Each structure stands twice: as C-alpha cells, then as structure tokens.
Amino acid sequence: MSIIITIIFLALIFEFINGFHDTANAIAMSVSTRALPPRFAVFYAGVLNFIGAITSQAVAKSIGGKIADPFKIENGLAIVIAALIAAIIWNLVTWYFGIPSSSSHTLIGSVAGAVIVGSGFHSINWVGFTDIIKALIISPFLAFIIGFILMKILRALFKNVNPHRATRGFRTFQIIAGGLAAFSHGGNDGQKTMGIIVFAMVAGGFQSTLDVPLWVQIICAAAMGIGTMIGGMRIIKTVAKRLFKVQPINGFAADLSSFTVMQGATMLGLPVSTTHVASCSILGVGSAKRFKGVNWGVAGKMVITWIITLPISAAIAGIIISIMKLFM
C-alpha cells in the first residue's frame, strides 16, 4: 500500500507542475493582448482546467492501456515511479529555463523508457504507442492549418471594420475562446496523470479495470487547477510575446484553433501535446497575418526541444529504473 501512496504522491506533484508548466497554453494570448489581467487569467484558467479534467475518461484510458498492458506488465509499480520521477525532472528543467516543452511528450517518453528497461521491448504495445505518437505529430500541423485558415477568414470578414471597435470586440470574444482553450487543456492534459495512476493500480492489483475512480479524477483535476493558479509567467513570455506581436483578433483565432484541435482529440481519446497545439495555433495565425512577422528563430528552438523531449525523458526514466532494479 505504501508504494501506491508514493505513486499517487508523485503523480500529483507531476500534475501540479504540469499545471504551472502549461498554464501558458490557455492564458498566454489573453494576457499578451491585455484582454485579461495576469492574476485573474491564471485563476480563470485554473478553474476551467479543473472542470475540463473531470468531464471525461477517454484520454486517461488511452494512457492507462495503450502504451503497455498493465494487466501483464512486469515491475509495473517500479516502472510508474521511475516514469513519474523522470517526467518531473524534465518538466522542472524546462520550466526553469522558460522552454515551452511538452508535458505530454515528457510523460509518454518517460513511461515508454521505463517500460522498455524495466520489462523489455516486448512489453510495449507498439500499435497503441504508435497511435499516440501519430496524434502527437499530426495535431500541431492541424492546429497550424486551422489557425492560418481561421485568421485569413477573420481578416477578410473584418477588413473594413474600424480597428478600434474590432480590437474592443475581439477582446471579449478572446476571453471566451481562452476559457474554452483552458477547458480543453484540462480535458486532455488532466487525464494523462489519471491514466498513470490507474495503470499503477491495475499493475499492483488494486483494481481490475481501466475505469478512473472519481476520487482520482478529483485529486488530479485539483492538482492541475492549483498548479495553474500558481505559475506560468516564464512560459508565457516565450509563447505569447516572442513568437509575434499579438492583437485580440489574433488571440481569439489562436485560442479557438487550440480548443478545436484539443477538444477533438479528447473526444477521440487521443492524448496530444497542448503546448504543441497552442504554439502551432499561434504560428498559424501569425503566418496568416504576416509570415515574416513570426519569430521563426524562437519557433525553431521550440521544435528542437519538442524533438529531444521524448528520447531524453525515456533515457532518464531508463536510468532511474535501472538503478531501482539493483535494489529490487
């Protein structure tokens, strides 16, 4: 029992860090355009993250059963501990340096690395794992395309509207769109940690299905919501202010694009990177406005971080589980 309590504790730490690490996904645009003051925006996002996280179980079940089979895994509890420690380490490193890396990539990479070293390559569910990787790869491109098209449509529709009136009106719409983005962020990201806890409980024989108990939903949603309310300004500076100069109409288009992709993925039970989706929505909107106005240098550094996150997280988790096995 002490092991499962340790896992739940580590999972909640990861979820808390995930909250302040990924806060920028939902509120960066609203803060950048001054549609919302920072303190209220963080609270607003935290509440909607919580609500989003308790509305579904589809993504949690994918994380709990698609990467590996918790009913057959060897060293299941040790694997989860190693994966969570690795994910926490990488999230803290990237948060400290203000790098908008993906908590989703971090967690999935850590679980895969821990499973491979802890139980062997044969323990990976390669079909399910491949489906998750496909979703992680396709979703940013889809977010870019939707953001680009939506911004083009909005510019055509409102090209003759007084700029001052348009700015004032879209600030209101952006608050709504930012709230939707926060809701979908909670619905996708919040469920990943729930899935890890369920994986551990099944592997440890504490439950016999991949269903997420209500108490797990509540504590994970609360941890993410509280984390969201506490921090995120380091990432906001990178996501919103350094990619391109943002106006309310751009923020509305980016947030609505992010919501569309994340909510669609959640309904399909596919875990996606909310950081990737949000950032690529911004890039798509910025490209539609003025291609050369986008800071592609910063975008390139973000992409590099995204690419290296999976293997680095897997390697850290592999090292940790290797050390743990010496004492098992």
One digit per residue, the tens of pLDDT, for the chain of length 328 reads 789 999 999 999 998 888 776 665 667 777 777 777 877 877 888 888 889 888 888 899 889 888 999 998 888 999 999 999 999 999 888 877 766 677 888 999 999 999 999 999 999 999 999 999 999 989 999 999 999 999 999 988 888 877 677 777 788 888 899 889 889 988 898 898 999 999 999 999 999 899 999 999 999 999 988 887 776 555 555 555 555 567 788 889 989 999 999 999 999 999 998 888 888 888 898 888 777 766 677 677 777 877 888 999 999 999 999 999 888 7
Residue 95's identity, in one-letter code, is W
Residue 24: predicted pLDDT: 59
DSSP secondary structure string for all residues of 95-123: HHTT----HHHHHHHHHHHHHHHHH-GGG
Alpha-carbon dihedral sign for residues 121, 204, 71, 214? negative
Residue 124: strand pairing partners: 68
Contact 64, 199 (CB under 8 A): yes
List the beta bridge partners of residue 68.
124
How far apart (Å, rounded) are the C-alpha atoms in residues 323 and 39? 42
**What is the DSSP code string of 118-168?**
HH-GGGB-HHHHHHHHHHHHHHHHHHHHHHHHHHHHHHHHTTTS-HHHHHH
Joined tokens for residue 96: 């400290």
Rounded to the nearest 5°, which phi and psi values hold at 204?
-90, 0
For the chain, the domains span 2-325
CB burial string 159-191: b at 16+ within 10 A, e below: eeeeeeebeebbbebbbebbbbbbbbbbbbbbb
Residue 178: the pLDDT is 87
